[in-house]
Structure 1
Amino acid sequence: MFLQSLHLKQFRNYRDQAIEFSAPKTILLGENAQGKSNLLEAVELLATLKSHRTSRDRDLVKNDETIAQIQASLKKELGVSALQLTLRRGSRRTAMINGETLKRQQDFLGSLNAVQFSCLDLELVRGGPGTRRTWTDTLLMQLEPVYVHILQQYNQVLKQRNAFIKQHTADPDQPPPLDPTQLALWDAQLATLGTRVIRRRARMLQRLIPIAQSWHQAISNSAEQLEILYSPNVTIDSDDATEIQQAFLSQLQAKAMAEYYQRTTLVGPHRDDITFLINQTPARQYGSQGQQRTLVLALKLSELQLIEEVVGEPPLLLLDDVLAELDLNRQNQLLDTIQDRFQTLITTTHLGSFDAQWLKSSQILRVDQGQLLKA
């Protein structure tokens, strides 16, 4: 797939900016806080309907404006698509494909595929379980857009079950007993939907892990061995839905007293985690900065490869000021991998990381206070 054009209206610090992409690689050059990352964020929204920088649409709309728009022309093997996202400060966003407004936003997913890589991605290794769950879910949404609906259903039932537990444990000194019949209904719904989440996460990681291990071995010159372990909160021994559901329900019963006093749901994929080991040592606690960066780079390259395998077309690669975070060996590994295989948008404050051949085959645009100029 190839992003032919992008048009931003009242988005972040862009008032009305149209961009035509004329090369497989586009370098966005400029000082910090000029709008380079904002442009990549717009493409990320088209791919995932999410921003890794904010969860509120009002943050994406330019100051003193009420509506922002992201428009794009995307060429794929099946033809050219016109994509549009309209973001509003005070109401729901709308998504359009080829001039048709979609009833469900999730139908927009899969129109454009992209992998975002920024310095914030080191939190994948260093951060808490929630960061790794979000990473897993965001990738799954691109591979299986229906997963958005599954995850929403699970989170809704989780929210309602938590409200039910809190309602009946309002006074910890004299709590009324939980209605076992009603609780059993919430348990059954949570286990059914949670099983669907667990199975999809497990299957996706099963495909991703050998790809990531291969990349990691290449980047580390076979000096390090990477292991990635999915740690579901519900202990599973197989992919069988019935067995996972039974395990889920058994663990809910085992945790019933703890949930009663903690007033929250303690069992389910909302408590999953992923463990990264380098040479059998936890990378989060004991990995050096270089090892952690190598790991994240391997993960991002494996995302690219997996999306290409599943979707059948190479996704876009969005590199947000990451070259400065990588040493020369990792820079070269990344740039050599990209070549012209993936359309790449890359932000930087200087051109020193690129060799002459890379610069020659790239479109270079200077970003200055929300305006793009040819460098």
Structure 2
Amino acid sequence: MYLKTLHLKHFRNYGDQRIEFCAPKTILVGDNAQGKSNLLEAVELLATLKSHRTSRDRDLIQDGNAFGQISATLERELGLAEMALILRSGSRRTAMLNGEKLRRQMDFLGHLNAVQFSSLDLDLVRSGPGERRIWIDTLLMQLEPIYAYILQQYTTVLKQRNALLRQWGEKDNSSAAVDATQLAIWDAQLATLGSRVIRRRSRVLKRLTPLAQSWHTAISGSTEDLQIRYAPSVPLTEGEPAAVQQAFLDKIQQRAIAEQHQHTTLVGPHRDDIEFTINHTPARQYGSQGQQRTLVLSLKLAELKLIESVVGEPPLLLLDDVLAELDLNRQNQLLEAIQDRFQTLITTTHLGSFDAQWLNSSQILQVQAGTLINP
């Protein structure tokens, strides 16, 4: 797939900016706080409907405006696709595909695939489980757009169940039987939807792990062994989906008293984690900065390969200010892996990290106060 054009209107610090991409690699160069990351964020929204920087649409809209818009022309093997997102500060956004308004925003997913790698991703190993859940869920939404709907359903049921647990704590014991019946209904829905989330996370990690291990071996010079383990809060039994659901329900029963005391759901994929070990040592607590950066770089390169193998076309690669965070060896590994295989948008404050061959084959755009200039 190839992003041909991008048009930003009242998005972040861009008033009205249209970009035509004319090379496999586009380098956005400029000082900090000029809008380089904003441009990559716009592409990320088209791919995932999410921004890793904010969850509020009003933060994405240029100050003083009621709406913002991201439009793009995407070339895929099946033909051209026109994509647009209209963001509103006080109401629901609109997603449009080939000029038609989509009834469900989730139908927008899967048309543009992209892997985002920013300096913030280097905290993926060091941060808490929530960041790793967001990472794997974002990948799954691109590989299986239906997953976004499943996760949304699970989140809705989880909120309802938590509300009931809080109400239970506020009532006297005379209503306990009624509450227990209601809770059993939510338990069944939570187990059904939660087991779907768990099985999909487990499945994608099984496919991603050998790819990441291969990259990690190459980058570390075969000196390090990477292991990735999915750690669900529910035992992941082999066999039919019904077996996972039953394990889910059994675990809920085991934690019932604790949930009644804490008034919140303690079992389910919202409690899962993903564990990384390097040479049998937990990377989060004991990995050096260099090891952690190699790990994250390996994960991102593995994402590229996995999406390409599943979708059948190479995704876009969005590199947001990461070269400065990587040493020369890791920079070379990353740039060598990209070549012209993936359309790449990369931000930097200077061009010193790129050799002449890279610069000659790249489109270079200067970013200055929300305006793109050909240097």
SS in 2 for 1:285: helix
SS in 1 for 2:111: coil
Listed one character per residue, the Cα deviations across residues 75-113 of structure 1 (whole Å, up to 9, x for unaligned) are 000001111000000000001011000000000001100
- Aligned residues of 1:194 and 1:268 also touching (Cα < 8 A): yes
Q: What corresponds to 1:235 in structure 2?
A: 235
Cα separation, 1, equivalents of 2:99 and 2:374: 30
Give the Å deviation of 1:174.
Answer: 6.6
Listed one character per residue, the Cα deviations across residues 38-97 of structure 1 (whole Å, up to 9, x for unaligned) are 000000000000000000000000000011000100000000111100000000000101
Give the Å deviation of 1:240.
Answer: 2.3
Structure 1 residue runs of 4 or more that deviate by more than 3 Å after TM superposition: 173-176
- Aligned residues of 1:199 and 1:239 also touching (Cα < 8 A): no
Amino acid at match of 1:262: Q
Q: What corresponds to 2:206 in structure 1?
A: 206
Q: What corresponds to 2:106 in structure 1?
A: 106
Listed one character per residue, the Cα deviations across residues 163-198 of structure 1 (whole Å, up to 9, x for unaligned) are 011101126x97952532222111111101101100
Listed one character per residue, the Cα deviations across residues 209-241 of structure 1 (whole Å, up to 9, x for unaligned) are 011101110110111000000000001221521
- Aligned residues of 1:212 and 1:302 also touching (Cα < 8 A): yes
Q: What corresponds to 1:48 in structure 2?
A: 48
Identical-pair percentage: 71
Cα separation, 2, equivalents of 1:28 and 1:239: 49
- Aligned residues of 2:116 and 2:317 also touching (Cα < 8 A): yes
Q: What corresponds to 2:270 in structure 1?
A: 270
- Aligned residues of 2:307 and 2:315 also touching (Cα < 8 A): yes
TM-score (norm 2): 0.98
What count of residue pairs does the alignment treat as equivalent? 374
Q: What corresponds to 2:295 in structure 1?
A: 295
- Aligned residues of 2:119 and 2:321 also touching (Cα < 8 A): yes
Cα separation, 2, equivalents of 1:100 and 1:78: 18
Q: What corresponds to 1:253 in structure 2?
A: 253
SS in 2 for 1:331: helix
Query: Can you give the 5+ residue segments of structure 1 that lack an aligned partner in the other structure?
Result: none
Output the aligned Cα RMSD: 1.0
> Which aligned pairs between 1:324-363 and structure 2 lie closer than 5 A?
324-363=324-363
- Aligned residues of 2:237 and 2:247 also touching (Cα < 8 A): no
> Which aligned pairs between 1:103-252 and structure 2 lie closer than 5 A?
103-170=103-170, 177=176, 179-252=179-252
Q: What corresponds to 1:27 in structure 2?
A: 27
Cα separation, 2, equivalents of 1:196 and 1:9: 38
Is 2:103 the counterpart of 1:94? no
Is 2:57 the counterpart of 1:57? yes
Cα separation, 1, equivalents of 2:175 and 2:221: 62
SS in 1 for 2:169: coil
SS in 2 for 1:152: helix
Q: What corresponds to 2:8 in structure 1?
A: 8
